[in-house]
Structures are given as structure tokens and as C-alpha cells.
């Protein structure tokens, strides 16, 4: 297959070196149409081909992602508590959610925001909107950004590493096909983990109720 739009886009970005990689990772936070996982795979392939060093490429993209995440968070945090609450309630009503349900959801998010912030950075599309949700729900900035940074590091490292290894194991890798395959595998793995966690919780509930009687 000669059609490889992700590889073509990466070739254009790569012309600007590490600055281009940083700019791509930063822009990806504000332009959802950019396929970050595909371009990160291409970053790994480029590192294997000697276009840039693997550590430098990883650090450039991770730094760009972290700064973009923080910029999005603080931009919406600046709305203030009153405007944030009004906006959240308005969006919630569009989806048929009562104010009480929205408040319970916000409280639940704040209790578990560290784990959720990390997990959200590993879910395609959701990872881009997580900083906005956290800012509007008035989450703790330090714990949210620290957990998000850890998620960004894992996300970038995962796909850059896959691209790097694939370049050595596949003689001629089509980045677009590789990106779609990796994304599909990630979604299947996340769905499996979700259902396993749900099954474990369901198994624990009867035992907890029995112990409490």
C-alpha cells in the first residue's frame, strides 16, 4: 500500500527537526484532527532511521504534550468557579443530567482525579478534552497535571517505542497501517481491562454485602 498520509505528514514535520516535533505535540492538544498516535509511531520510525535521536524525540514530544495540556487546563481554569459551574450545568442539561447528578459526578471526579487524570491520557480523543473537564470541575491543579504528565509520558513512550521496534522488525513499514493496527489493539486492550474491572467489582459486591450482615 503506497497511500501513507501519516508518513507524509511526518516527513513535513520532520523537516523542522526537534522543534517541529515539539510544535506537533503542542498543536495536537488544540487540533483534535491530528492523529497523535500515528505521528508518534512515525517519530519512532524516524528515530530508527537516524532522523533524530530516540531520547531527544521522546523528550521533545513529551514536553510539548505536557505544556499543551497545562495551557488548556489553565485557559479554562481562568473562567472562575461561577462561570465554570454555569457552563458545566448547561452542558449537563443538554444531555438530560440533573444538577444533583452533575454535582455528584464532580465530587466523584475530585475524589479520584489523580487516577482518572492518568487514565484519561491513555484513551484516544478523551485525552484531549480531559484538561478542560478537570478545569471546569475545579480539580486540584498540582495532582491533575502531575498525573496527566505521567499519562503523556506513557502514551508517547508507548507509540514511539512501537514505531522504533516496528522499523527494525518490518523491512518497509507503512506508518498509516501501523497506526491503525496499534490504535485498534489499544482500544481492544482498554475495552478488555474495562470489562475485567467491571466483572471484578460485580464479584466483590455480594461478598461485601454478606460480610456486612
Distance of CA 145 to the CA centre of its chain: 13
Domain assignment present for residue 208? The answer is no
pLDDT at 34: 65
Domain assignment present for residue 211? The answer is no
| pLDDT confidence bin for 123, thresholds 50/70/90 | confident
pLDDT at 209: 46
| pLDDT confidence bin for 176, thresholds 50/70/90 | low
pLDDT at 111: 82
pLDDT at 68: 92
Domain assignment present for residue 191? The answer is yes
* Range with the largest mean pLDDT of 2-11, 41-50, 116-125, 178-187: 116-125
Domain assignment present for residue 213? The answer is no
Residue with the larger pLDDT of the pair 113 and 91: 113
Q: Helix, strand, or coil here: 9?
A: helix
Over 80: is that where the pLDDT of 200 sits?
A: no
Q: CB–CB of 40/61 below 8 Å?
A: yes
DSSP 8-state assignment for residue 172: S
Residue % of the chain over a pLDDT of 90: 15
Q: Total structural domains in the chain?
A: 1
pTM of the model: 0.74
Domain assignment present for residue 212? The answer is no
Task: Report the alpha-carbon angle 183-165-55, nearest 5.
Answer: 100
* Range with the largest mean pLDDT of 12-16, 154-158, 171-175, 200-204: 154-158
Domain assignment present for residue 176? The answer is yes
Over 80: is that where the pLDDT of 139 sits?
A: no
Phi, psi dihedral angles at 130 (to 5 degrees): -55, -45
Closest CA to 49 of 14, 94, 76: 14
pLDDT at 205: 60
CA distance 109 to 113: 5
Residues, the chain, total?
213
Q: CB–CB of 128/76 below 8 Å?
A: no
Q: CB–CB of 45/164 below 8 Å?
A: yes
DSSP 8-state assignment for residue 174: -
Q: What is the per-residue pLDDT across 12-46, written as a single tens digit (0 to 9) for each?
A: 676 778 888 898 889 888 887 667 777 788 888 88
Mean pLDDT of the chain: 78
Residue with the larger pLDDT of the pair 7 and 204: 204
pLDDT at 94: 67
* Range with the largest mean pLDDT of 8-17, 59-68, 197-206: 59-68
pLDDT at 150: 95
| pLDDT confidence bin for 211, thresholds 50/70/90 | very low
Over 50: is that where the pLDDT of 100 sits?
A: yes
The torsion angle over the Cα atoms of residues 197, 200, 204 and 205, rounded to 10 degrees, is 60
Domain assignment present for residue 210? The answer is no
The region, left, alpha or beta by phi > 0 then psi within -120 to 50, assigned to residue 123 is beta
Residue 133 neighbours by CB under 8 Å, 6+ apart: 109
Domain, as residue range, for 67: 5-203
Amino acid at each position: 500500500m503506497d497511500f501513507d498520509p501519516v508518513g507524509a505528514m511526518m516527513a513535513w514535520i520532520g523537516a523542522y527537526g526537534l522543534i517541529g516535533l515539539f510544535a506537533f505535540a503542542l498543536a495536537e492538544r488544540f487540533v483534535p484532527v491530528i492523529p497523535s498516535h500515528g505521528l508518534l509511531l512515525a517519530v519512532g520510525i524516524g528515530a530508527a532511521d537516524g532522523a533524530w535521536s530516540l531520547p531527544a524525540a521522546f523528550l521533545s514530544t513529551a514536553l510539548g504534550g505536557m505544556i499543551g495540556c497545562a495551557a488548556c487546563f489553565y485557559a479554562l481554569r481562568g473562567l472562575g468557579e461561577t462561570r465554570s459551574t454555569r457552563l458545566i450545568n448547561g452542558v449537563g442539561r443538554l444531555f438530560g443530567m440533573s444538577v444533583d447528578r452533575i454535582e455528584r459526578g464532580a465530587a466523584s471526579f475530585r475524589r479520584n482525579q489523580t487516577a482518572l487524570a492518568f487514565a484519561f491520557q491513555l484513551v484516544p480523543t478523551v485525552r484531549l478534552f480531559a484538561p478542560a473537564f478537570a478545569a471546569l470541575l475545579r480539580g486540584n491543579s498540582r495532582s491533575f497535571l502531575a498525573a496527566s504528565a505521567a499519562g503523556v509520558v506513557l502514551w508517547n513512550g508507548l507509540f514511539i517505542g512501537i514505531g522504533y521496534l516496528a522499523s527494525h522488525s518490518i523491512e518497509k513499514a507503512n506508518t498509516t497501517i501501523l497506526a491503525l493496527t496499534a490504535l485498534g489493539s489499544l482500544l481492544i486492550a482498554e475495552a478488555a481491562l474495562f470489562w475485567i474491572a467491571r466483572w471484578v467489582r460485580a464479584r466483590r459486591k455480594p461478598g461485601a454485602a454478606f460480610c456486612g450482615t
